Amino acid sequence: MNIVVSIKQIPNLTDELEINAEGTGLDHDALQYVLNEFDEHAIEEAVLAKEATGGTVTVIGVDTTGELDGALHTALAKGADSAVKITGDFPRGTDSHTQAKLIADAIRGMSPDIVLTGVQAADDRDGQIGPMIAAHLGVPYVGVVTGVQVKEGKAVVHKEYAGGVMAEFEVALPMVVGVQAAHQPPRYAPVSKIRQIAKTAKIDEVTGGAGPRAGSTVRRMFKPESAGHAEMWEGSPEEVADKIATLLAEKGLVKRG
């Protein structure tokens, strides 16, 4: 079983997010980057699949931060077998079209049985990397998956619908899965282990070619602007109730008797 996990790093949402001077995106230089949470689940689900059925897990990503090694070392500490990074002139926040193409090109030759990736990432909320990898490779895609079981050339995946409804798909391999959540919480990789691995592990490097242009561009990025204001009324319940009734009448919502 050849399992491949596609990952990417996104801004740390516990930091204060700054908008760039042009007002078209985040100020990437002011941000710290962490692994996309959904990709953490994809790694966990991949390692669980490997533990259940055997095989190898390869973790791959486009190095948009210059710091992808840390994320790859963490994945190795969690049980991945090899790590690949795609290098080139790919700045932070590189669009999903470009990343999907680069990853599809890099993994085509690996003949993966199953590719797992986070169903989406908080930086662009695009959710397109998984489907686009599947399209480039010409294989099926199922997203919003909360559990994967692999056996005999097929994968049984659980997909989560709205309203608490679940569906079970049986899909012929190879395929791409967009992971919503692993069926166990992502395991903790001790920093001791990550640091050991960082000293010895080899990360394969692939030089990425030119990617396609993004499907869309952000015209303006901004923090929520307050559209109105709230007025706090004080006084006895009777006084406040009277004010509310008067206001509702003024707005024409009720008639005062």
Question: Which residues contribute to the site for another protein (CB under 8 A)?
Answer: 14-16, 34, 187-188, 190-196
Q: Cβ neighbours of residue 111 under 8 Å, at least 6 residues apart?
A: 2, 174
To another protein, the closest distance from the beta carbon of 185 in angstroms equals: 10
Cβ(172)–Cβ(68) below 8 Å: no
Q: How far apart, in whole angstroms, are the C-alpha atoms of residue 166 and residue 194?
A: 36
To another protein, the closest distance from the beta carbon of 194 in angstroms equals: 7
To another protein, the closest distance from the beta carbon of 18 in angstroms equals: 11
**Is the CB of 197 or the CB of 218 nearer to another protein?**
197
**Is the CB of 33 or the CB of 141 nearer to another protein?**
33
By the 10 Å C-beta count (0-12 exposed, 13-18 middle, 19+ buried), 115 is classed as buried
Q: How far apart, in whole angstroms, are the C-alpha atoms of residue 37 and residue 138?
A: 27
**Is the CB of 193 or the CB of 243 nearer to another protein?**
193
User: Phi and psi at residue 228, in whole multiples of 5°?
Assistant: -150, -160
**Is the CB of 73 or the CB of 158 nearer to another protein?**
73
Question: At what angle are helices 37-53 and 68-78 packed, to 10 degrees?
Answer: 30
**Is the CB of 188 or the CB of 233 nearer to another protein?**
188
To another protein, the closest distance from the beta carbon of 81 in angstroms equals: 17
Q: For the beta carbon of residue 250, count every other beta carbon within 10 angstroms.
A: 10
Tell me how far CA of residue 224 lies from CA of 79, 189, 215, 228, in angstroms: 41, 36, 25, 12
To another protein, the closest distance from the beta carbon of 220 in angstroms equals: 25
